[in-house]
Amino acid sequence: MDAIAANLEEIRSRLTAAAERAGRDPASVRLVAVSKTYPAEAVGAAASTGQRIFGESRVQEAREKIPACPSDLEWHFIGHLQKNKVRQALPLFPFFHSIDSAALAGAIDRIAGETGAKAQGLLEVNVSGEESKHGFTPDELRAQFPALAKLPHLRIRGLMTMAPYSDNPEDARPVFRKLHELRDELQSAHQHPLPELSMGMSGDFEPAIEEGATLVRVGSSIFGTRPRPNKE
């Protein structure tokens, strides 16, 4: 587990350097340690270095893992969430990165209203237009944003995206820049604050920070190669 502490130290110093290159305060970028597929012991090792925010992408796995982890952590849901899992997810996760349809946003809002949960989240945008990706296209989001921003029990706090897979992190930069521009456009068109941009993973978090990410989601660079594939 010492490897996890060493990896985290390296990621934090790269995060700080990327923020400084962009003239940003490193404290404006929060690191989400993506612990999906890794055991509670790995979360514990990361938590003992001061890491506080963890990301999970499957509700069932999180239901088993979270009770075995330190209790002072903040859990973010980062994967594709099925509507029929919202009721189970809400008590575990105060923050959803990947709200990828108006129907899902509506389900979170409705169930949060029924149960008194406080839900916050980000709208996932399929910037690159890849068929395999979830999320709103930029035009869908332009059309649907006014209704989403008005949901009474779900606070929309920003946007999230995943860049297409590539060996070259620079390939992701135009995707991140477009998400930032879309955020600025929606924010000023609708007078709705969207302070958070969740973008960047192990392979591309540095260009994401240079393009304005406030949340980066890093898994394998912290915890090592994933023990098993992770698909909902």
Ligand X SMILES: *Cc1c(COP(=O)(O)O)cnc(C)c1O
Alpha-carbon distance of 50 to 5, in angstroms, equals 10
- Give the nearest residue (CB) to ligand X: 219
Q: Work out the widest C-alpha separation in the chain, in whole angstroms.
A: 48
| Closer by beta carbon to ligand X, 97 or else 183 | 97
CB 57 within 8 A of CB 78: yes
Alpha-carbon distance of 125 to 131, in angstroms, equals 12
| Closer by beta carbon to ligand X, 100 or else 109 | 100
Which residue's structure tokens are 């949960």?
117
The residues of the shown chain that bind ligand X, judged by CB under 6 A, are 34, 36, 57, 78-79, 162, 201-203, 217-221
φ and ψ at 226, to 5 degrees?
-65, 135
| Closer by beta carbon to ligand X, 10 or else 114 | 10
End-to-end CA distance of the chain: 27
Q: How far is the CB of 162 from ligand X (least distance, A)?
A: 6
Q: How far is the CB of 135 from ligand X (least distance, A)?
A: 11
Q: How far is the CB of 64 from ligand X (least distance, A)?
A: 18
| Closer by beta carbon to ligand X, 113 or else 164 | 164
**CA distances in angstroms from 160 to 5, 19, 100, 209, 216, listed in the order given:** 27, 18, 9, 13, 10
Strands (E), the chain: 30-34, 53-56, 74-77, 95-99, 119-124, 154-160, 196-198, 215-218
Q: How far is the CB of 203 from ligand X (least distance, A)?
A: 6
Q: How far is the CB of 225 from ligand X (least distance, A)?
A: 9
Q: What is the DSSP letter of 136?
A: B
Q: Which residue type, as a one-letter code, is found at position 168?
A: N
Q: How far is the CB of 94 from ligand X (least distance, A)?
A: 17
| Closer by beta carbon to ligand X, 121 or else 219 | 219
Quickly count: other Cβ atoms within 10 Å of residue 25's Cβ. Answer: 9
| Closer by beta carbon to ligand X, 154 or else 213 | 213
